Amino acid sequence: MVNRVLIIGSLILAALIPLAVIALRRNEHSPTPRFHIMLGMDKMAYRKPQRPSKFFADGRAMRPHIAGTLARQDFIYNNEAQMRLTPNNWKLDHVVLNTRHKYERVLLGQVLGGGQGRFITHIPIPVTKALVHRGQQQFDIFCMPCHGANGRGNGLVNQWVHKLRQAGSPDAGTWVRPTDLTSPAVTFLPDGGIYSIIVNGVAGMPAYKDQIAVVDRWAIVAYVRALGLSGKAVSAARLPVKVRASLAAGKKH
């Protein structure tokens, strides 16, 4: 009888050991991936950059960019201003990227030719009041911390670094005051040039191509232009037709 109890007890203990080991291993951290019986989508086959692949006819694992295409999240952007860059819909007009010329202007802010690019002078999408307002919203998120609300380069980040420098702190580093966006250095830039700076960065400013969608980049350009005109006399020729008509009517009275 005793032997039978010992045998049953030993079997129960032996059956619990694997469960205890599994429970212990589940709570341990290891750089080695766990063994997967069913891979599913936990561990998918992939190729590293610049590696060969027999799956594609050209033998390349990395796929070349298809001209005239872009990521869906960049191509369609919903917001409260109803701005959508799609083949069939724009708030007041249609922007169809069905030619290389339009693709270069909207996506790159350039016109390519002869192996070189030339920045476009004007925003290639309809500039509306809603677009400028959207640009202000995005400017306040991404640009204002450094450039300031008025765009003159004295944002909170610059003010903080200035205080660190006055205190002799090494954390101030080699910080350079951000560019005044209302200065001639910016106002004389073509719109495509400002767009390129947003996308690729310049000097101490990082690139924002991964954070800001295509439409919002142009919206920021439109708002930067508005900042450049703020506080300055503007010729009547640059005013909208309705505003000019209203001013003319006011003079008559």
**pLDDT, tens only, 185-194:** 888 999 999 9
Q: What is the pLDDT of residue 104?
A: 80
Kindly state the average pLDDT of the residues 16-36.
73
DSSP conformational letter for 178: P
Residue-wise pLDDT for 86-102, tens only, equals 433 434 344 556 667 77
Is there a contact between 133 and 81 (Cβ–Cβ < 8 Å)? yes
Give me the DSSP letters along 186-221: HHTS-HHHHHHHHHH-BTTBPP-TTTS-HHHHHHHH
pLDDT of residue 73: 46
**Of 153, 121, 145, the residue nearest 221 (C-alpha):** 121
* Residue type for position 60: R
pLDDT of residue 190: 93
Name which of 69, 126, 56 is nearest 103 in CA terms: 69
Pinpoint the residues of the chain covered by CATH 1.10.760.10. 129-232
Over range 64-86, report the average pLDDT. 49
pLDDT at 27 (0 to 100): 67
Predicted pLDDT of residue 218: 92
3-state secondary structure of 52: strand
Q: Please give the Cα distance from 130 to 12 (Å, whole number).
A: 73
pLDDT in tens, 101-147: 777 888 888 887 766 778 999 998 888 888 899 999 999 999 999 99
CATH of domain 129-232: 1.10.760.10
Q: How far is CA 165 from CA 108, 127, 169, 171, 179, in A?
A: 38, 41, 6, 8, 19
Rounded Cα distance, 26 and 171, in Å: 43
Structure confidence at residue 79 as a pLDDT band (50, 70, 90): very low
How large is the average pLDDT for residues 202-231?
Answer: 87
- At 123, which amino acid appears? I
More confident residue, 13 or 99: 13
Residue 113 half-sphere exposure toward CB, CA atoms < 13 A: 7
Alpha-carbon distance of 92 to 99, in angstroms, equals: 20
